[in-house]
């Protein structure tokens, strides 16, 4: 296994692939937060899933606030995809992301990655779990 596992990494999906830690490999190590088959999900009940959703929205709001506090502005709405890999205690091991090509200027994406890396170092997801897990979604970032 690659020595960078569990080091609070902010990476694009492509960077993770190049480093030998593609999302497929991570998916084999982190159970899905939710799944159509609840036996394969970490958060099985409707209440647990609602708490997960609230915690995920809070994470995105906290990230947005952190970006603003550090002078980062998107300038327009940006669509992307996130796949976040978390320890049972809510600490973030990996935050993989992807923006469609040409949607974010390279300098802006570098700054986003730098700030995201700082953000995840000490962030704790608002919901703990009995085991490590992954959460993913499409996302829209914008300035408020």
Q: Is the pLDDT of residue 6 over 50?
A: no
Tell me what pLDDT residue 29 has. Answer: 94
Tell me what pLDDT residue 50 has. Answer: 93
The number of distinct structural domains making up the chain is 1
Tell me what pLDDT residue 124 has. Answer: 95
**121 domain residue, yes or no:** yes
Name which of 96, 79, 116 is nearest 22 in CA terms: 96
**22 domain residue, yes or no:** yes
Name which of 6, 7, 33, 8 is nearest 127 in CA terms: 33
**68 domain residue, yes or no:** yes
**4 domain residue, yes or no:** no
**74 domain residue, yes or no:** yes
- The span from the CA of 62 to the CA of 56, in Å, is 10
| Structural domain span for residue 63 | 9-141
pTM above 0.75, yes or no: yes
Q: Is the pLDDT of residue 35 over 90?
A: no
Reported as a single tens digit per residue, the pLDDT across 46-89 is: 899 999 999 999 999 999 999 999 999 999 999 999 999 999 99
Strands (E), the chain: 9-12, 31-32, 78-86, 92-98, 133-141
**93 domain residue, yes or no:** yes
Q: Is the pLDDT of residue 104 over 50?
A: yes
Q: How sure is the predictor about 116, in pLDDT bands with cuts at 50, 70 and 90?
A: very high
- The span from the CA of 13 to the CA of 32, in Å, is 17
**1 domain residue, yes or no:** no
């Amino acid at each position: 296994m690659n020595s960078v596992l569990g080091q609070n990494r902010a990476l694009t999906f492509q960077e993770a692939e190049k480093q030998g830690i593609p999302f497929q490999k991570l998916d084999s190590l982190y159970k899905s937060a939710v799944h159509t088959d609840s036996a394969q999900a970490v958060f099985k009940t409707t209440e647990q899933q609602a708490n997960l959703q609230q915690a995920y929205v809070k994470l995105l709001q906290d990230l947005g606030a952190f970006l603003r506090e550090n002078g980062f502005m998107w300038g327009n709405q940006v669509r992307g995809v996130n796949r976040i890999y978390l320890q049972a205690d809510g600490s973030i091991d990996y935050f993989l992301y992807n923006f469609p090509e040409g949607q974010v200027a390279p300098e802006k994406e570098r700054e986003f990655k730098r700030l995201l890396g700082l953000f995840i170092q000490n962030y704790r997801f608002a919901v703990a779990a009995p085991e490590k897990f992954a959460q993913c979604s499409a996302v829209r970032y914008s300035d408020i």
